[in-house]
Amino acid sequence: MVRARQVRKSFGALQVLQGVDLEVQRGEVVCLIGASGSGKSTLLRCINHLESLDGGRIWVDGQVVGYELRGGRLHEKSSAGICRDRTQTGMVFQHFNLFAHMTVLENVMLAPRTVLRQRPAEILPRALALLERVGLADKAKAYPRQLSGGQQQRVAIARALCMEPKLMLFDEPTSALDPELVGDVLQVMRDLAASGMTMIVVTHEMGFAREVADRVVFMHGGQIVEQGPPAQLLGDPQHERTRAFLSAVR
């Protein structure tokens, strides 16, 4: 579903991604871990072309993201083309960024209506089913401010799913939540993983990674240092950097 080859990204003189290779199979759940500043968010943002690349290439479901071949060279797509690429990838951020002046249901229905130009009658059953799925059917008419952080994050997940993406990217979805609200969000993500969704999850929730991930990828200094099944990577890390990181977060 995802193939990243030799992805490079700098901000000014700072090389944030230094030749990242990553493949994610259809239906696979990959947890991305690593210290703050190691490039995890930037990598996710590159997969959705929220950042342009300085080198390398990323494919989602066989299509190059954000770029097209013209005159034998890769050029960045038009904003419409980039927008179309993004519709196949759902993203959930640490801060849920719901529209405050819209109800929960309106938030969930907005992108299919405006981006995919679907009719409300077509979106509504799907939106309601998704709210049911994230345990918020009774909050459809509520406004974001009336919800807890955990509920808002579950709305954000439903909103992303309403675009019927092929791939879901999560960037520390529970890091901004009070501890007692984390469990419900992780449960929604666990159910989504069980349903066969392809997911890349940046998280510090090692319990979630151990239980749900098919593979854990450890990043350091803009590179993938080590990856493997959770039991192996978390239980018996081979690289000194991985060991140091894991002992710091435990």
Tell whether residue 13 is a contact of ligand ADP (CB under 6 A): no
Site for ligand ADP (CB under 6 A): which residue of 1, 4, 7, 16?
A: 16
Smallest separation (angstroms) from Mg ion to the CB of 147:
24
To which residue do tokens 């099944």 refer?
Answer: 229
Give the closest residue to 91 by CA, choosing from 4, 23, 165: 165
Distance in angstroms (rounded) separating the CA atoms of residues 190 and 158: 14
Minimal CB distance to Mg ion: which residue?
41
Beta strand pairing call for 55-60 and 223-228: unpaired
> Residue 176: is it exposed, middle or buried by C-beta count within 10 angstroms (0-12/13-18/19+)?
middle
Between residue 23 and residue 82, which ones bind ligand ADP under the rule CB under 6 A?
Answer: 34, 36-42
Binders of ligand ADP: how many residues, by CB under 6 A?
Answer: 11
Smallest separation (angstroms) from Mg ion to the CB of 36:
7
Dihedrals phi, psi of 133, to nearest 5 degrees = -65, -35
Between residue 27 and residue 46, which ones bind Mg ion under the rule CB under 5 A?
Answer: 41
Smallest separation (angstroms) from ligand ADP to the CB of 94:
10
Using the minimum distance from each CB to ligand ADP, give the nearer residue, 39 or 112. 39
To which residue do tokens 């879901």 refer?
Answer: 168
**What's the sign of the alpha-carbon dihedral 99, 102, 103, 109?**
negative
What is the binding site for Mg ion (CB under 5 A)?
Answer: 41
What is the binding site for ligand ADP (CB under 6 A)?
Answer: 11, 14, 16, 34, 36-42
